[in-house]
């Protein structure tokens, strides 16, 4: 079985690095016959990207730029943050990007959702999921690189999918990371592009910025989250939701079974502080 490929690029130009990562992964081929592409940043709070707490819009712009060059698709930047996401789209610069590239913006907190039951659920029976994420969509998760409280420990590509749930319907997942396995059985990223230009350590809403200067990308969302966790100084197999994702067959968490295109993990590693 071939090893999943994870691309790591170093530098400080998030737009260019994101663009190059998609090019290296030949995303044009992966998108194929999909008519709609969902680009899902992490805008948990309305704050400046220099904090590392939200996805830098420059990284999202690099993704959009590549997608617009490979053909005419319906592209939607969709997020349901823990803030007034519509306002955050404007203040953080996402609305400007949407206008520049003629793509759509969707505040998931104000959009229709549908209750979906989980077949053979493990922890959570059903979810209220934004209709934009359902059906044949190519979903690109573009999270920031940061730590998280409780059992989660990190918040990356997998946890970023929670922003596609209806508001007020995410509480149980915040408390029990295992439920992400059930959500990922319904919606999951086809591609993950982690904004590690500036990460954040400590609390996910009030942590301290960490200058890293990296973009990490790949199709196997478990592998990408594992590589990012290792770069942050964690053993990915000791992070429960990552280990469970491998156990159920969603992807590879074992670093020895992942192919890295770019600098070795050890050369990038920096021990991120966990929340107190």
Q: What is the pLDDT of residues 136-162, one digit of tens each?
A: 999 999 999 999 988 888 999 999 999
Domain limits for position 43: 5-268
* In-domain check, residue 276: no
Please report whether residue 185 resides in a domain: yes
Q: Which pLDDT value is given to residue 228?
A: 99
Q: Distance between CA 61 and CA 221 in Å, rounded?
A: 21
Q: Is residue 275 part of a domain?
A: no
- pTM (two decimals): 0.96
- The parts of the chain modelled with pLDDT lower than 50 are none
Query: What does the pLDDT read at residue 81?
Result: 87
Task: Please report whether residue 274 resides in a domain.
Answer: no
How buried is 32 (Cβ within 10 angstroms: 0-12 exposed, 13-18 middle, 19+ buried)? exposed
Predicted pLDDT at 270: 97
What contacts 248, CB < 8 A, 6 or more positions away? 181
Predicted confidence at residue 26, as pLDDT, reads 98
Please indicate, yes or no, if residue 243 is contained in any of the structural domains: yes
Domain presence at residue 167: yes
Q: Based on the structure, what is the number of domains in the chain?
A: 1
The CATH number that applies at residue 264 is 3.40.50
Give pLDDT, residue 194. 99
Q: Within a domain: residue 108?
A: yes
Q: Within a domain: residue 12?
A: yes
As a whole number of angstroms, the distance between CA 261 and CA 22 comes to 13
């Amino acid at each position: 079985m071939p090893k999943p490929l994870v691309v790591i690029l170093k530098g400080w130009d998030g737009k260019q690095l994101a663009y190059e990562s998609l090019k290296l992964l030949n995303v044009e081929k992966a998108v194929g016959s999909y008519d709609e592409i969902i680009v899902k940043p992490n805008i948990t709070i309305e704050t400046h990207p220099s904090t590392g707490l939200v996805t830098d819009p420059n990284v999202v712009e690099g993704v959009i730029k590549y997608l617009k060059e490979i053909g005419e698709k319906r592209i939607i930047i969709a997020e349901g943050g823990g803030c007034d996401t519509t306002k955050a789209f404007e203040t953080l610069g996402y609305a400007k990007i949407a206008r520049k590239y003629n793509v759509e913006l969707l505040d998931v907190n104000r959009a229709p959702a549908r209750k979906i039951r989980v077949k053979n659920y493990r922890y959570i029976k059903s979810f209220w999921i934004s209709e934009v994420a359902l059906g044949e969509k190519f979903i690109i998760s573009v999270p920031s690189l940061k730590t998280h409280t409780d059992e989660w420990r990190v918040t990356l590509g997998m946890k970023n999918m929670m922003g596609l749930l209806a508001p007020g319907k995410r509480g149980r997942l915040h408390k029990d990371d295992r439920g992400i396995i059930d959500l990922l059985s319904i919606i999951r990223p086809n591609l993950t592009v982690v904004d590690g230009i500036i990460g954040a350590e400590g609390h996910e809403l009030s942590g301290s910025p960490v200058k890293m200067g990296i973009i990490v990308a790949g199709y196997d969302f478990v592998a990408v989250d594992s590589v990012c966790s290792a770069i942050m100084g964690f053993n990915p197999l000791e992070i429960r939701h990552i280990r469970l994702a491998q156990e159920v067959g969603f992807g590879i968490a074992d670093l020895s079974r992942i192919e890295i295109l770019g600098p070795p993990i050890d050369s990038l590693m920096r021990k991120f502080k966990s929340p107190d």
